[in-house]
Structure 1
Amino acid sequence: MNISPRTVPDIAGEYNLIDSGNEMKLEQIGKYRIVRPAPQAVWTPRLSDTEWNSADATYMRSSSGGGEWKFRNQTSRKFQMLYDNIGFEIKLTDFGHLGLFPEQAHNWQWLREVIRTRMAYTNNANLNVLNLFAYTGGSSLACSQAGAHVVHLDAAKGVVDWARDNAKFSHLHDRPIRWIVDDALKFVAREARRNNRYHGIILDPPSFGRGPKGEVFKIENDLIPLLAACKEILANDAAFVLLSCHTPGFTPLTLHNELLEMVGERPGNIESDEMIIAEQDRLSAPGRLLPSGTYARWQGRDVTKPKKAEAKK
């Protein structure tokens, strides 16, 4: 098994992890400082209580499983920002999410690199990507930036519309992106019957979710059948598969083994690791990395190098 190094990507944008600890994280998001839960941050914060208490907004979870925002300063619940050259509309949702997952930035950079390498290898032949559980579209837009044809699928119409707005903000609204509201497994099964194939598949499944018609998804029961179905629509000359999740217990090794079962004997390389967010001083001095989920990703061996031009006779 190849465990990738803890590479800290140099990401340009309006997001910074300022501090973490006591199962919380202090973030700079656009012009606002926001505090949100981070169950993995079991250590002690570096900054003072004064710094933390000066945050513009704090999301507090309740014992009943919900939560609420508490505002110290006037804070917009909806605004735009740039991160890793992608435009995001940030929303302070009732369940604490913002529509941005900065821990995925390392994967976005990898997706761009793999797609551009593949397109150089094939003289810019169409590369079709399916993004399941695609949410607000960070991975979809990264693939589109690299030149891929993308199918973006989520079960919730509201978040698909949110992703479309992000595409407009990123000046990608005229690119070949199909926006689909559907149940992931049902859509994949239909694609198999239609004999449609994809050169890249991205999955970021939730621990629990519901499809548009009430279909239930439980990761412990349904991920393996979904990966088996995805195997049927993975092109023979596929370039990549990216699998990530935020479910406790689904370690890098777990995802690695599940992805290995999916790709079978296909030539290529699988790497797996934790997704991380670096505290803002990490690039200039030793600092802490906040674990924020896990991933495994496979790259087909035949796309690791651009095709060499034939020598002139």
Structure 2
Amino acid sequence: MHLANEWQDYELIDTGGGEKLERWGDIILRRPDPQIIWPLENETHQWKQVHGHYHRSSSGGGQWDWKKEIPERWTISFDKLSFYIKPTSFKHTGLFPEQAVNWRWMMNKIQQANRPIKVLNLFAYTGGATVACAYAGAEVCHVDAAKGMVQWAKENVHLSGLGDRPVRFITDDVFKFVQREERRGNKYDAIIMDPPSYGRGPNGEMWKLEDNLYPFLQSCTRIMTDNPLFVQINSYTTGLSPTVLHNLLSMTMKERFGGSITSGEVGIPITNSGLNLPCGILGRWEA
């Protein structure tokens, strides 16, 4: 398992009973997590002294129960990268802390390349990977279908003191954007993607991972430079094996460019139990 174990401002304190107890800076949140199927053996005072507790609704969705006053948004940092945290109505906070293990890997790859690197970040959300790659010195194109998430990503880039870096922000359907980049002849040294199980583009374009990911990866191979650096895929799709990502990268990137592939689970260490919480999977191709 690839563990995000370098955090100072984030901590997964405890888990149990379908929930996780997390520290985001000085704010303690209690949120549901479908992977946590073991019981909560000891509901300590930590569990009860939270700032907010997200309750799922039996009819879908859910809502926050705020126990203490918190700011509308606040800042946490990973190394020299900074991010705005803001709890949303669908339980997320605007950041997936397990992705720090990928940020570190990308930064190292870019800095060790010793040449200019152009990165395309697709399904890019609030821009954790965009901030990491820009910090490492890459030119970045950030693409997401949600206008609000693209704005959040811009704010994260500026928060990290990277407002002068070459970062382009695009609100668009990622599949259509990649196809246009191919027609334009634009090329990238590295591509990052975090495709959803299902999704819609800004004009109602449908995305279904099991139908679209392979042809999408094929399209991406056609906008890689002749000397590409890496492709990173993250997935939170339930039931999808890391081996599937390994196979897809083998049939697309490795078949065309050679190189090597790594796949596996991503996780976060749990402070109180010493266990690790699985938080999705990754597939990496590198030259």
Q: Which TM-score bucket, shorter chain as reference? A: over 0.9
1:137-191 deviations in whole A, cap 9, x for unaligned? 0111111111110000000111000000001110011100000000000000000
Alignment of 1:290 with 2:285, yes or no, is no
Residue 48 of structure 1: how far off its partner (Å)? 2.3
Aligned to 1:271: 262
1:184-223 deviations in whole A, cap 9, x for unaligned? 0000000000111110000101111111111111112211
Pairs aligned (count)? 286
Assess, with a 3 A threshold, how the Cα gap between structure 1 residues 70 and 273 changes in structure 2: closer, same or farther. same
5 Å matches for 1:1-313?
6-45=1-40, 47-118=42-113, 120=114, 124=115, 126-265=116-255, 266-280=257-271, 287-300=274-287
Q: Which moved more, 1:175-184 or 1:216-225?
A: 216-225
CA distance in 2, matches of 1:56, 1:10: 24
Residue 9 of structure 1: how far off its partner (Å)? 4.5
**SS of aligned partner of 1:97:** coil
CA distance in 1, matches of 2:109, 2:175: 26
Q: CA RMSD in A?
A: 1.5
Residue 228 of structure 1: how far off its partner (Å)? 1.3
1:64-122 deviations in whole A, cap 9, x for unaligned? 2211000111122321221243111111101111111111111111001111111x2xx
- What is the TM-score normalised by the length of structure 1? 0.88
**SS of aligned partner of 1:249:** coil
Residue 46 of structure 1: how far off its partner (Å)? 5.5
Task: Write out the 4+ residue segments of structure 1 that deviate beyond 4 Å after TM superposition.
Answer: none
Aligned to 1:303: none
- What is the TM-score normalised by the length of structure 2? 0.95
CA contact (8 A) 2:2 2:265 kept: no
Residue 44 of structure 1: how far off its partner (Å)? 2.9
CA distance in 2, matches of 1:173, 1:221: 37
Residue 10 of structure 1: how far off its partner (Å)? 4.1
CA contact (8 A) 2:145 2:201 kept: yes
The amino acid that maps onto 1:273 is G
The amino acid that maps onto 1:178 is R
The amino acid that maps onto 2:20 is K
CA contact (8 A) 1:144 1:177 kept: yes
Structure with max Cα Rg: 1
**SS of aligned partner of 2:20:** strand
Percent identical among aligned pairs is 44
